[in-house]
């Protein structure tokens, strides 16, 4: 076999990247292009799907050129993508119908109370695993089709197609208007709020509740399967995987067994815990989701907790408070003091997400004294990320009925060693970061390589995972409890000080 | 004085402004402006040809290179060095007579290892340290008072160290074999910031028989990995720092 490389496309929120990996799963080359963010109204965030497709046609040849290989050297292509973003396009012209509404867009908030009366929260959680929120895709489709009777009519006849980003890319890669394949994978479908977690197919009851005609929906396929053969960009290459970016990171971190978890620290943070072959319905404010499915095999499920503000809190500290010049320098500033000086920052800038789901909560800085310096505030900023991680892990442990024994981490903030040590100290478990940072792309590449037999099984992929750094807990239990009381007190203050308004971006706390 | 002149003006200055203000010929003013622009202390507007204070001068106010920023900028490239070489990879900076580890990536063999960031070693007995003693701008002052502690039978004394540093300056890399710990060898190369100034060293450490040949030369493939990592990181630092 001569084709020994795997190509991954990571279609993300701010950019589209193409990464080439070799047969050992090692990074070979990368090419990247950012796309425009459209903010037509407050709370609206849109992408131009045509621009994103055009970027794919540029980054893939660029990454291959840097690696010095051609399409003939590529064993398979895997796609990882930003989740929950809704693209509508015309089946005959291939043209997007309006801009894509992204996962960050909150325009559907006013629709949620009405939708909540149609499908109650327990039914929703049991059926699709998600709380009713502005995150999921289905309310976006409700909104779009209510806005335009013309779209609704053409959607009902299947002339207008819906897809998340991977669906749009696979359709275009496989020929678009001339024979493009209209498919999605189970992980992406599990974020739409339209799929039954157990049957792994569209649920007609949910489709009715959200007024989404079945004719516009793609076929739900396993994550790792032959989705089609590319006719564009990489002619002849098998599209061996499509998978949501956070699930891809879980896979790229080789968290294949129940109880294994990863946390990706970026602007926000996403913690996913592999829960095995049965979905766990959360009673602690988490989402239940599909982690992965290979062709002909049962699905693997995960619990997911998302934290809104982690890296973005450091950005605020840098840009709005001008406390540091660059984000990494917050570690230098934090190390000028021994501790947080009793100060806690609760970053509920736009409410608290998992596991609290209190959209009305507003952030606070607690226990200000004249003794505090910039260094103490820097500590409190980093500890806020660590404490939010602890809150999500504790909810996961309670839901899954097992205790996390180690946390695998990735993302830009893992180069902050003080933060990683603090996460380990407060969780009281080891924290490990892998040698290959690009876990999202790697996960898509792994899944695609499995499909075409470049790698025989998960055991081989597990051996590719190497630990780049490890932090072991180093904090006395009494100290941890003292700090925990401080965080809990600060958290309670932000919840009690909030105006009691009905939830608009999530369900009420259980 | 020229920098003060440019910095004191609200708008960018022309060559004639500078010549008039300093009382020198336009050709001399032009040469001074070019020199300061080449090292980043001034920036020339592409359209008007006028000069303003550059990022390099602003950075002078920020003091020494922040080592946490350095780690954050180099993580992917140091990971690649560890993966490709199969050895532990490090970045170090000169702190007096010692080299401080500011970044460490584990050897990719799944053995239990400890993070060594923050550890300090005698500079004269390590490859990263010898690179910095040979090339770091702070090294001449350090060398004036250095009395190298003997750590193993192979640790260099002062005359031997001086001879070694001449070699390091010529080769632009260093290799030590058993000079700090009897059974370890290391290879390192310099990292340069804007203006070509050496700010840190990147290197790998491993068992003697893994890292060097029977003739105690670094294995060519490992040396090539270290040099490639140094070049890639230097390019990254030149673009950002």
- Binary contact (A468, B62; C-beta < 8 A): no
pLDDT digit string, tens, across residues A449-484: 999 999 999 999 998 888 999 999 999 999 999 999
Q: Assess whether A312 and A241 both reside in one domain.
A: no
The answer to whether residue A355 scores a pLDDT higher than 90 is: no
Specify if A80 maps to a domain. yes
Specify if A505 maps to a domain. no
Query: Which two tokens mark B105?
Result: 């990536």
Specify if A197 maps to a domain. yes
Q: Assess whether A479 and A439 both reside in one domain.
A: no
Indicate which of B61, B62, B69 best probes the interface with A, i.e. most A CBs within 10 Å of its own CB. B69
User: What is the C-alpha separation between A57 and A54, in angstroms, rounded?
Assistant: 5
* Inter-CA distances, B193 with A460, B44, B80, Å: 40, 21, 20
| Percent of chain A predicted with pLDDT > 70 | 97
B85 CB near a chain A CB, below 8 Å?
A: no
Chain centroid to Cα A7, Å, comes to: 20
pLDDT digit string, tens, across residues B96-108: 999 999 999 999 9
Q: Residue A108: CB partners within 8 Å, gap ≥ 6?
A: A134, A139, A140, A142, A143
Specify if A270 maps to a domain. no
Convert A423-446 to b/e letters by CB count within 10 Å (16 or more is b): bbbbbebebbbbbbbbbbbbbbbb
Q: Assess whether A10 and A123 both reside in one domain.
A: yes
| Cα angle B86, B90, B91; round to 5 | 150
The count of other CB atoms within 10 Å of the CB of residue B64 is 8
Which pLDDT value is given to residue B58? 64
Residues of A in contact with B75 (CB under 8 A): 414-415, 437
Per the structure, the complete domain to which residue A321 belongs is given by 306-434+472-496
- Binary contact (A470, B105; C-beta < 8 A): no
Specify if A246 maps to a domain. yes
Query: Which two tokens mark A471?
Result: 């932090």
pLDDT digit string, tens, across residues A29-58: 888 898 998 988 888 889 999 999 999 999
Residues of B in contact with A327 (CB under 8 A): 72
In 3D space, the residue among A262, A215, A208, A182 whose CA is nearest the CA of residue A434 turns out to be A262
Q: Assess whether A313 and A241 both reside in one domain.
A: no
Q: Assess whether A444 and A425 both reside in one domain.
A: no
Q: What total of structural domains would you count in chain A?
A: 2
Specify if A328 maps to a domain. yes
Which pLDDT value is given to residue A2? 65
Q: Is the separation of the CB atoms in B73 and B237 below 8 Å? A: yes
ipTM passes above 0.85: no
Q: Assess whether A75 and A216 both reside in one domain.
A: yes
Chain centroid to Cα A393, Å, comes to: 16
User: What is the C-alpha separation between B46 and B54, in angstroms, rounded?
Assistant: 13
Q: Phi/psi class of residue A98: alpha, beta or left (left: φ > 0; alpha: ψ in -120 to 50)?
A: left
Q: Assess whether A420 and A452 both reside in one domain.
A: no
- More reliable by pLDDT, B54 or B165: B165
Query: Which two tokens mark A148?
Result: 């335009």
Q: Assess whether A155 and A21 both reside in one domain.
A: yes
**β-pairing verdict for A238-244 and A224-229:** antiparallel
Average per-residue pLDDT in chain A?
91
Q: Assess whether A75 and A112 both reside in one domain.
A: yes
- More reliable by pLDDT, A503 or A257: A257
In 3D space, the residue among A84, A136, A92, A97 whose CA is nearest the CA of residue A115 turns out to be A136
- Binary contact (A325, B62; C-beta < 8 A): yes
Q: Assess whether A454 and A420 both reside in one domain.
A: no
Indicate which of A327, A436, A469 best probes the interface with B, i.e. most B CBs within 10 Å of its own CB. A469
B68 CB near a chain A CB, below 8 Å?
A: yes
Q: Cis before residue A290, ω within 30 degrees of 0? A: no
pLDDT bin (cut points 50, 70, 90) of residue A66 is confident
Q: Looking at the complex, report in whole angstroms how far the Cα of residue A327 sits from the nearest Cα belonging to chain B.
A: 8
Domains (range + CATH), chain B: 2-60 (1.10.10.10), 67-240 (3.30.450.40)
- How large is the average pLDDT for residues B212-236? 93
Q: Assess whether A334 and A405 both reside in one domain.
A: yes
pLDDT bin (cut points 50, 70, 90) of residue B141 is very high
CATH of the domain at A11: 3.30.420.40
User: What is the C-alpha separation between B241 and B239, in angstroms, rounded?
Assistant: 6
Alpha helix positions (H), chain B: 2-8, 15-22, 26-38, 55-60, 67-85, 127-135, 139-145, 158-171, 208-211, 220-240
Specify if A504 maps to a domain. no
- Binary contact (A468, B105; C-beta < 8 A): yes
- How large is the average pLDDT for residues A307-334? 91
Q: Assess whether A322 and A174 both reside in one domain.
A: no
Q: Looking at the complex, report in whole angstroms how far the Cα of residue A26 sits from the nearest Cα belonging to chain B.
A: 8
Specify if A63 maps to a domain. yes
């Amino acid at each position: 076999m001569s084709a020994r490389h795997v190509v991954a496309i990571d279609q993300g929120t701010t950019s589209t990247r193409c990464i080439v990996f070799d047969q050992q799963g090692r990074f070979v080359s990368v090419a990247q292009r950012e796309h425009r963010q459209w903010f037509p109204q407050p709370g609206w965030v849109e992408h131009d799907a045509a621009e994103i497709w055009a970027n794919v046609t540029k980054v893939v040849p660029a990454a291959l050129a840097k690696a010095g290989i051609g399409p003939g050297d590529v064993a398979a292509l895997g796609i990882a993508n930003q989740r929950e973003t809704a693209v509508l396009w015309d089946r005959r012209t291939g043209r997007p119908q309006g801009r894509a509404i992204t996962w960050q867009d909150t325009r559907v908030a006013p629709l949620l109370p009405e939708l909540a009366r149609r499908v109650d929260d327990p039914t929703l959680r049991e059926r699709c695993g998600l709380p009713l929120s502005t995150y999921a895709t289905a309310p976006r489709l409700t909104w779009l089709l209510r806005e335009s009777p013309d779209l609704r009519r053409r959607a009902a006849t299947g002339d207008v197609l819906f897809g998340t980003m991977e669906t749009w890319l696979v359709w275009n890669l496989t020929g678009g208007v001339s024979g493009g394949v209209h498919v999605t994978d189970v992980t992406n479908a599990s974020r739409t709020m339209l799929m039954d977690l157990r049957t792994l197919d569209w649920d007609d009851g949910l489709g009715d509740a959200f007024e989404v005609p079945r004719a516009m929906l793609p076929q739900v396929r396993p994550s790792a399967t032959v989705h089609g053969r590319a006719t564009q960009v990489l002619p002849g290459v098998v599209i061996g995987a499509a998978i949501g970016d956070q699930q891809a990171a879980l896979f790229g971190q080789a968290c294949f067994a129940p109880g294994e978890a990863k946390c990706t620290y970026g602007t926000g943070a996403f913690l996913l815990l592999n829960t095995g072959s049965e979905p766990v319905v959360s009673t602690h404010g988490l989402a239940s989701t599909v982690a992965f499915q290979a062709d002909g095999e049962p699905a693997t499920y995960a619990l997911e907790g998302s934290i809104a503000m982690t890296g973005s809190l450091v950005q605020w500290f840098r840009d709005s408070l001008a406390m540091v010049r660059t984000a990494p320098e917050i570690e230098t500033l934090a190390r000028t003091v021994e501790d947080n000086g009793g100060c806690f920052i609760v970053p509920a800038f736009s409410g608290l997400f998992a596991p609290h789901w209190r959209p009305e909560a507003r952030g606070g800085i607690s226990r200000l004294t004249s003794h505090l310096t910039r260094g103490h505030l820097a500590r409190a900023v980093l500890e806020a990320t660590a404490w939010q991680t602890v809150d999500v892990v504790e909810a996961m442990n309670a839901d899954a009925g097992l205790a996390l024994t180690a946390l695998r981490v990735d993302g830009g903030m893992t180069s902050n060693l003080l933060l990683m040590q603090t996460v380990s100290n407060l969780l009281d478990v080891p924290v490990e970061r892998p040698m290959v940072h690009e876990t999202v792309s790697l996960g898509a590449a792994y899944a695609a390589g499995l499909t075409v037999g470049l790698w025989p099984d998960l055991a081989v992929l597990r051996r590719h995972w190497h630990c780049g750094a490890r932090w072991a807990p180093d904090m006395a239990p009494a100290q941890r409890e003292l700090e925990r009381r401080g965080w809990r007190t600060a958290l309670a203050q932000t919840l009690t000080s909030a105006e009691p308004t009905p939830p608009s971006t999530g369900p009420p706390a259980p | 004085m020229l920098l003060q002149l440019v910095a004191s003006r609200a708008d960018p200055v022309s060559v004639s402004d500078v010549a008039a203000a300093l009382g020198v010929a336009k050709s001399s003013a032009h040469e001074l402006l070019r020199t300061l622009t080449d090292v980043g202390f001034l920036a020339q507007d592409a359209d008007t040809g006028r000069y303003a204070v550059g990022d390099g001068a602003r950075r002078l106010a920020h003091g020494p290179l922040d080592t946490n920023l350095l780690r954050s900028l180099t993580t992917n490239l140091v990971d690649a060095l560890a993966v490709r070489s199969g050895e532990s990879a490090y970045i170090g900076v000169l702190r007096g007579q010692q080299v401080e580890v500011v970044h460490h990536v584990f050897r990719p063999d799944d053995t239990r290892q400890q993070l060594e960031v923050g550890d300090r070693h005698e500079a004269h007995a390590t490859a990263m340290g010898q690179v910095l003693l040979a090339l770091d701008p702070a090294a001449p002052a350090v060398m004036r008072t250095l009395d190298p502690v003997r750590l193993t039978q192979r640790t260099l004394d002062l005359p031997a160290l001086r001879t070694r540093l001449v070699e390091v300056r010529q080769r632009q890399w260093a290799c030590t074999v058993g000079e700090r710990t009897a059974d370890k060898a290391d290879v390192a190369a310099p990292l340069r910031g804007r203006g070509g100034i050496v700010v840190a060293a990147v290197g790998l450490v491993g068992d003697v028989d893994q890292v060097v040949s029977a003739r105690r030369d670094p294995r060519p493939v490992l040396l090539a990995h270290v040099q490639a990592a140094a070049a890639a990181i230097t390019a990254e630092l030149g673009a950002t720092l």
